[in-house]
Amino acid sequence: MAESFAFEIAGKVLDKLGSAAYERISLAWGVREEFEKLKLTLAAIRAVVLDAEQQQARNHELTHWLQKFKDACYEMEDLIDEFEIQALRRQVLQRGSIGRKVRHFFSGSNPLACRFRMGYKIKKANEMLNEIAANKAKFHLSQKHETNVIHRERET
């Protein structure tokens, strides 16, 4: 299990990004294309993570690359959770009174400002993943599938 740690983290984030709830959230916030870019880049990197984890003992630079990838996955998971919180906040606000809506509009969690802030965070996450994806080419990693991990665990 420790050997496929980054693979599992990326899988968890991909599952969250692919869920129906996040499809609705991304449509409501107008960031569906950005989420799709995140999913594609994350899936491309995840495809070579198993090979990277096997080779990291021989290559210190690869260990650093894997750590950056894990950090990026954690940040994306936080970003997805933040989107979920904002969506729930929006649902609660829709049930509220006019005075509550006005107070919310002029507060720090203004829907317009929040949309810009979240859009910026998604753009930063995309840039970070694109940088990680660009760096993976220099390691000449091959794609391995999850079934290899399950098979290897059963052998030991």
At 28 the pLDDT is: 63
At 148 the pLDDT is: 45
Task: Provide mean pLDDT across the span 92-104.
Answer: 66
Provide CB contacts within 8 A for 143, sequence distance 6+: 47, 48, 51
Q: Could you give the 3-state DSSP secondary structure of residue 141?
A: coil
At 109 the pLDDT is: 63
Write the DSSP symbol of residue 101: H
pLDDT in tens, 107-138: 656 667 777 788 888 889 999 999 999 988 88
CA distances from 113 to 83, 90, 120 (A): 14, 13, 11
Separation of alpha carbons 79 and 123, rounded Å: 11
Using the predicted structure, report yes or no on whether residue 25 has a pLDDT greater than 90: no
